[in-house]
Structure formats: C-alpha cells, structure tokens
Amino acid sequence: MPAITNIEDLRVLAKRRVPRMFYDYADSGSWTESTYRANEDDFNRILFRQRVAVNMEGRSTRTTMVGQPTNMPVAIAPTGLTGMQHADGEILAARAAKAFGIPFTLSTMSICSIEDVAKGTDNHPFWFQLYVMRDRGFIERLIDRAKAANCSALVVTLDLQILGQRHKDIKNGLSAPPKLTVANMLNLMTKPQWCLGMLGTPRRQFGNIVGHVKGVENMGSLSEWTAKQFDPRLSWADVEWIKQRWGGKLILKGIQDVEDARLAVDSGADALIVSNHGGRQLDGAPSSISALPEIVEAVGRRIEVHMDGGIRSGQHVLKAVALGARGTYIGRAMLYGLGAMGQAGVEKALEIIRNELDLSMAFCGRTDITQVDKSILLPGTYPTGRAAGY
C-alpha cells in the first residue's frame, strides 16, 4: 500500500472499501452540493503569513473546549451511521479519540449505542449529540442514559428540524443495514472486508433507538418512527428545557446567523458550533469558515465559539483558530479514516491533522495554539466580521 500522507489518501481508500450507499452518505451534500463544496474551498482561499528566524522550540497545541482539556483544538464530530462505514465504527472512533486526548461526540443516530461506546472505552468520558424528537419521553431517557454513561457534554443539534434533500441518499435507497436489492448486492460483493466485519458484529441498527422506543424493534418500524419524529416545532424554550434536564456542559450546534448566536448566548449554553451540517441541509448557505468571524465578533466574549464544516487538514484547523474558533470538529476526515482502516485509520487521520497543525503553526511564528490570532493570516485573503457589538 502506498504511504498515506494526507486526508485525501484516506478518502480514496475508503471509497474503495465502503459500500457505495454509505460512502455516498458521508461524502455528499444536499441539492447542488454548493455549500458542501464551499466549506472546503473557502478554507483554501485563506493564506498564511510565513515568519522566519523565530524560535520554534517548545510548541504546544494543547487547549480546552468547554473547560475540558484537549491535546489540540479538535473534537470528533457526531456523524450518523458511523457504524456502517466500518463494523463497530463509533467504538473504534471513540478509542482513537481517547488515545489522542481529544473529545469524541456520539450521534443520536449512531449504530453503536451510548452504552456500547461507554463499555468499549472503559467508561472514558465522551460527548453525546442530541436530536430533538417529538417523543419527549424518549429524549428524557436519552439524556439520562448519557448521564449514566459519564458523558461530559451534551451537543444539541438545532438545524435538523426537517431533513434536507440529499440526492445520492435517495438514489441509493439508503438504509441500515442495506436493502438487499440487486444493485446493492452486486456492490457489496466488491467489498468483502466490509462484509466480513459486519458479519462479525451484532451492531447493525440504530443502537440508541431500537429497543428503547415502544413498538420499534426492527428496521421497518424504525423507519416509520424516525420519519415522524424530527420535531419541526423546535424552539429556544426546548433548549431551556434540555439545559435544565441535562444540568451539565451544553453546546449548541448549527448556528450560522448572528441573531441566532445572540440567542444562543441568552440560552446560557457553554458553547455554540458555527455549522451548516456539512452542507447537508440548506444548500446555498454560506460556508462555515466565512460565517465564523462575524459570529465571533458579535458574541465571542460571551460564549465559546466552535466551528465545523470542510476541515480536511491541520492547516484548516489553524485558520479556524486564527479567526476566533476555540475548537473545531472533524466529521468526514474521521469517516474517511474509519472506512479506510478502522481505528488505525482514524488514528492516522488525527496524526495527519495534528502534525499539519503543529508544523504550520511553527512556520507562522507561533509556538502555542492559544496565542494564535488572525495576525498569522495574509490580510485580504480571509473573511472579516461585520456585526455590531452585542
């Protein structure tokens, strides 16, 4: 196998090893995919100021996110169906995050359950991402299960009240486990390593839901339930209710607008994530990195600002931090590593990002990530904030 030196190498390998419907689920956006592409493209337009003849010894990428120490300003983002990229995928990704000393976030729509991940990581603290469903009793039980599993932060996703139209998922007939159509069977025959892994695990359905909701015991009843459950009535009053029920660190995901950022501050949350759901919801929305500076300018002194979307390298992490992000999240970069090589692939993705972050920071004349600001960027190449003060 050729040497793997960047995230793109992992993506190419994952595409060869993961069934088409699950690879496409990870590597696609909604409608025309313009926002999905802009997330990465806008990062690449930002240029660094290289500095020379400065002391580059003693570098540190260590920081904190919501008061919790992390070895770099990176967390693993919550991604649905992670356990369909590779057998037991959520457990393996959480183990990789633990090894690197960064947060792992488990999705409500994971294949491995909250309890699976807790057991698989020896009860090491991780974060849990919550979708708000109409069934409030189910939400209460999910929150209580997250507490029991020693989750140290709750991430509430606000931008999936309704589902964006994702053309590839519709054309592929996405389901977990995959429907046994002729096309899917033929594709699965070309992925023997993936198939063997799935045969060796009992985890092939949505572990946080099946068996935890009355009447949902199989994929048929699950599909019917989930189609009705994402709550279009979600409001800031629900955020307050969740905050009271949870009682711990609270992060709000899906903020793109300054006014929503101000409402996030008023909610009492500990952090917000500037995010467009990886370009999978509103196509035509701004990229996350272009939306970041205005939100930081408006509320950054009152709430911790994080961001996700388009991060494929340690240089992207450094640019986000320079523009005011306290932390960043990787979703697709992690999924590429997982699909390519399981836990070793996730660890490789994190190693690549950490090394790129460390070296790029040094070339810009900085030795401590907490001292990085926009002065390391070339003026005129990066987006700027325009918001009025809070």
Rounded to 5 degrees, what are φ and ψ at 267? -70, -15
How many Cα atoms within 13 Å fall on the side-chain side of residue 153?
27
The answer to whether the CB of 86 falls within 8 A of the CB of 204 is no
Give the whole-angstrom CA distance, residue 284 versus residue 287.
9
**Is the link from the previous residue into 177 a cis peptide, with omega within 30 of 0?**
yes
Is residue 244 marked as binding?
no
Strand partners of residue 306: 273, 327
Locate 357 and state its tokens.
């972050």
Is residue 37 marked as binding?
no
Tokens 């708000």 appear where? Answer: 132
Is residue 181 marked as binding?
no
Is residue 107 marked as binding?
yes
Tell me the CA end-to-end span of the chain in Å, nearest whole number.
Answer: 53
Is residue 79 marked as binding?
yes
Is residue 382 marked as binding?
no
Rounded to 5 degrees, what are φ and ψ at 65? -130, 125
Q: 3-state class of 374 per DSSP?
A: helix
Is residue 314 marked as binding?
no
Tokens 């009447």 appear where? Answer: 215
Burial class (CB in 10 A: 0-12, 13-18, 19+), 152: middle
Burial class (CB in 10 A: 0-12, 13-18, 19+), 219: middle
Within the chain, residue ranges assigned H as helices are 7-17, 20-26, 34-44, 89-100, 114-120, 136-148, 167-172, 182-188, 192-199, 219-229, 236-246, 258-267, 288-299, 314-322, 332-363
Is residue 374 marked as binding?
no
Is residue 175 marked as binding?
no
Is residue 375 marked as binding?
no
Tell me, yes or no, if 277 is annotated catalytic: yes
Is residue 280 marked as binding?
yes
Is residue 253 marked as binding?
yes
Q: Which of 86, 124, 277, 316 is catalytic?
A: 277
Rounded to 5 degrees, what are φ and ψ at 196? -65, -40
Is residue 129 marked as binding?
yes
Is residue 331 marked as binding?
yes
Q: 3-state class of 108 per DSSP?
A: coil
Give every CB contact of residue 1 below 8 A, 6+ residues apart in sequence.
none
Query: Which residue numbers belong to the known binding site for glyoxylate?
Result: 25, 131, 166, 277, 280
Query: Which residue numbers belong to the known binding site?
Result: 25, 78-80, 107, 129, 131, 157, 166, 253, 275, 277, 280, 308-312, 331-332
Which residues are tagged catalytic? Answer: 277
Query: Which residue numbers belong to the known binding site for FMN?
Result: 78-80, 107, 129, 157, 253, 275, 308-312, 331-332
